[in-house]
Every structure is written in C-alpha cells, then in structure tokens.
A = this chain, B = another copy of it.
Amino acid sequence: MKIYIHTKFEVAEVAIIKEQLAAKYTLSIGEEISPENREEQFLEADICFGNVPLAWAKKTTKLQWLQLHSAGLDPYQQLGNHTFQITNLKGFFGTSVAETAVAGILAMFRGVAYLSQLQTESKWIGTPLRSSLHLLSNAKVLVLGAGAIGQKVKTFLSGFNCETTVLDSKTVVNLDNYLPTTDILVATLPETPETVGLLNKTRLGMLKSSALFVNVGRGSAVDEEALIEMLQQNKIYGAVLDVTAKEPIPENHVLWHMPNVLLTQHTSGGWAEENLDKIKFFIENLERFEKGETLVNIANLERGY
C-alpha cells in the first residue's frame, strides 16, 4: 500500500511520519521529490494526505482515500464523480480558532490591542484609558455556526457568565431576532451558498452601536464595505477580523488603519503543535482505514463542510 504525503511538513515532522509508517507502507513524501515528479507519485498512491491540485484528484484511478489537511473543501466540490473517500479536518481547528476569537474580544474590550500599539511608542497613558475599557462578563453573545468553533466559543465564554446563543445552519434564519440585543456577534460560518453575504448592510445595521463583531469563519459572510462604513461612523463598537474579503489584505487597504479594528491575519487556526496534531489525526484515521472502520470526518462535498 502506497501513501503519498502532499502536505508541506518540517523535516522533523516528516521524520515522525517515517518512523511511524515506513515499516508498513511505501511512503512518498512530496517535499522530498522535485515538484514535476509529484503528480506521478500521487497517481500511484492508494492513500494521500494533503490538498493536491484538483486536476490530479480528477485523474487518479488508484486512490482509495484522500485525507485533506484543511477543514475547508474548496476546490474539491468541483470534483464530480470520484471513487475514493475524502476526509477533512473538520473540528480540528475549533479550539484554536475559538481561542483567537475570545482573545480578540478581550483584546478589544480590555484595551490590549491599543496598549500593544502604545508599547511600540514607549508611550504611557495609564489611568485615563480605564474609562474606555469594557467587560466581557455578562455580555450577550450571538454565535453564528454551531460547528466545533462555535461550540468552543460558547464553552470558553461559560466562565464569563455570558448569555451565549449559538445558531446552527437551520436556526440561523432567525438571526434578525437576536441582532438588536447582541453585545458580541461572532461569525464562525463556513462558506456555503447560504452564508455568502448573510451579514448584509441591513443586518449589520440592526446591531447596537456598542456591539463588537468578530469574524473567524469566512470573509464572504459579511458585506465588508458596509462593515467598514459602519466602523468609520462608529455605528458599531469594533471588529475583530481573522478573515477578510482579500487575503493578504493589500498594503494600502483602509482596514489597516482603523483604530476600532483588530486584524489577526487568518492565523486563528494555528498553534505550535498544529502539524504534529495533524499527523496524529491522519495516523489515527489510517488505523481505522486499515481495520475497515468508518473514517472520521468524511467530507460532505454538497454541503461544503
């Protein structure tokens, strides 16, 4: 049985893969092969770990299982008929992304984002800042998306005595009922036909002027122009954006200079042991594959997650 590893791992991480799998499998590591020879290796593989180009995935006749290294399924929704199983990393990033969401909320409310910037100028303000700060405790929080991220946000906020409502893909249509009383709106939505443009100008306009918007899902869920206008006019308190319409954000983009915006540069899914944990996930799924058990995280290409 041949396994092709397409994900780019560090040398030490590849060493771990080899240590655990080389005795039992024929391993082909993309990073160790010149780029023009990788497709051939993939087409000979029974199992692949990593997000190979769509064209390769359309071509393979031998592949039995493709383990993606992402939660997102893009571009494989365009795959059409295929005979191999596809699994993704749904839920894998829940803790990490939700931690950045809460980090962002607290950084805005407790002034930490601004204090970090003051630090670069060796500038002490101190006491006068205090009246500009806010408390997360007892806030009314609306979380859009009931996947791993949304659930974790709710769990993390439990200690802060927040009143947290999580809307899933079925109940998200009731969104408008919650917006006017929401203190913190956290979008954790995947990109699907239903979520694109969900937070349009009208809906954003229903938020309180003291509301904080957090987006750790996909930039496409929000009308970014309308959001920027509202932030500029202080019609909402602020925004924490891990995702934006354009990534990287262009150097001359207005978002960089908005004092009520915190940009976390799509880093929320990361942590030091991210790759090691991905490898661990793959190997555990591989053991299931060997035993003929149902794989964890079989992707639903139609639904998009």
B-contacting residues of A (Cβ < 8 Å)?
95-96, 99-100, 102-104, 106-107, 109-120, 122, 124-127, 129-137, 155-160, 247-249, 251-253, 256-257, 262-272, 274-275
Contact status A116-B107, CB under 8 Å: yes
In the complex, are the beta carbons of B156 and A122 less than 8 A apart? no
- Could you tell me the distance between the alpha carbons of A115 and B268 in the complex, rounded to whole angstroms? 11
**B100 A131 Cβ-Cβ under 8 A:** no
* Residues of B with C-beta under 8 A to A113: 107, 112, 116
Count of this chain's copies in the oligomeric assembly: 2
Which of A103, A253, A268 is most buried by chain B, counting CB atoms within 10 A of its CB?
Answer: A103
Closest to A153 in B: B159
Please indicate the chain B residues that have their CB under 8 angstroms from the CB of A266 in the complex: 126-127
* Minimal beta-carbon separation of A63 from chain B (angstroms): 27
Given contacts A127-B267, A130-B269, A265-B125, contact A110 B103 (CB under 8 A): yes
CB <8 Å contact, A115 and B263: yes
Q: Does the CB pair A265–B159 fall under 8 Å?
A: no
Residues B267 and A126 in contact, CB atoms below 8 Å apart: yes
The residue of chain B having its C-beta at the shortest distance from the C-beta of A106 within the complex is: B103
CA gap between A104 and B158 in the complex, in Å: 19
Closest-CB distance, A157 to chain B (whole angstroms) = 6
Asked whether, in the complex, the Cβ of A267 is within 8 Å of the Cβ of B122, the reply is no
Residue among B124, B133, B267 making CB contact with A249, cutoff 8 Å: B124
Complex CA–CA separation, A157 to B102 (angstroms): 12
What is the minimal beta-carbon distance from A113 to any residue of chain B, in angstroms? 4
Report Cα–Cα, A130/B210, bound state, in Å: 31
Closest to A129 in B: B267
| Distance, CA A257 to CA B116, complexed state (A) | 11
